[in-house]
Amino acid sequence: MITISAFRWVPPFAQGLVRDLRVRWALEEAGHPYEVRLIGPQEQKSDDYRALQPFGQVPTYEEDDLKLFESGAIVMHIAEKSDALMPRDADGRARARTWMFAALNTLEPQVQQLAAIDLFYPAEEWAKARRPGVEQMVRKRLGELQVSMKGQDYLEDRFTAGDLLMVTVLRNLRQTEILTEYPALSAYRERCEARSAFARALAAQMEPFKKNAPAAA
């Protein structure tokens, strides 16, 4: 049985965005059942957990003797064994991998910078000065991505792990209205989020957050 780790609870601004969602979604698309190891701050610091994830983050992935960390690496592992996430032909697989790396290396750093400024440092003077430049770069990348899609429903001619990762990156813009200014990308995100596997993954991530929400003061 596959076991992944996920947080027992996170604040509302992070719910639906924690990166175990990527792994849950990939497993749902591939049709693989899995169990979840829920953790909190104390477990994150433990030697047991750090043996699985040196940086104390989520998710981790355990399957028999195989132990993995980093959501992108885990999704790639799952995708390599699933026709639902990777084309069968070698060239198609190579292109899908390219989009996976583009999502994590070209889009995500810019998007995450903007999210961090908006969510954690909005009142800081340095953040106010930095935000316009970060937003400009995000818009540049979004514009380039929209052009590259050439009106297609997906990054290639079908849904792949590249789309899965790209959409989880685009979801991190939800604290802004920026994506609505790129109608093709907005529709693309909605198209991927309409997949039944995504709905199951999101519901599974949200369930413990609801159960373990702190009592109101």
pLDDT tens readout for residues 140-153:
999 999 999 999 99
Residue 188 shares a structural domain with residue 201: no
Tens digit of each residue's pLDDT (9 = 90 or more) over 21-64:
999 999 999 999 999 999 999 999 999 999 999 999 999 999 99
* The pLDDT value given to residue 133: 98
DSSP letter assigned to residue 107? I
Do both 34 and 111 map to the same domain?
A: no
- 68 and 40, same structural domain? yes
Which residues lie below 8 Å from residue 66, measured CB to CB, with a gap of 6+? none
3-state secondary structure 26-86: HHHHHCCCEEEEEECHHHHHCHHHHCCCCCCCCCEEEECCEEEECHHHHHHHHHHCCCCCC
Structural domains in the chain (count):
2
User: How many contiguous H segments (helices) and E segments (strands) does the chain have?
Assistant: 10, 4
103 with 174, same domain?
A: yes
Q: Angle at Cα 74 formed by Cα 18 and Cα 54, nearest 5°?
A: 75
The pLDDT of residue 216: 61
Q: Which residue has the tokens 């109608």?
A: 183
**Confidence (pTM):** 0.97
Residue 46 included in any domain: yes
Whether residue 124 sits in one domain with residue 67: no
Residues 69 and 165 in one domain: no
The pairs formed by 16-19 with CB atoms below 8 angstroms and a separation of 24 or more are: 16/171, 16/202, 16/205, 16/206, 17/168, 17/171, 17/172, 17/174, 18/58, 18/205, 19/57, 19/58, 19/59, 19/71, 19/168
The stretch 185-200 carries a mean pLDDT of: 98
The reported pLDDT for the residue numbered 213 is 94
Here the CATH number for the domain that contains residue 201 is 3.40.30.10
Residues 61 and 95 in one domain: no
Domain that holds residue 152: 90-195
190 and 107 both lie in a single domain: yes
pLDDT of residue 217: 44
Output the domain CATH number for residue 136: 1.20.1050.10
Do the domain assignments include residue 147? Answer: yes
- 180: which 2 tokens? 């609505």
Residues 206, 111 share a domain: no
Both 203 and 191 in one domain: the answer is: no
Tell me if 216 is assigned to some domain. no
Residue 217 included in any domain: no
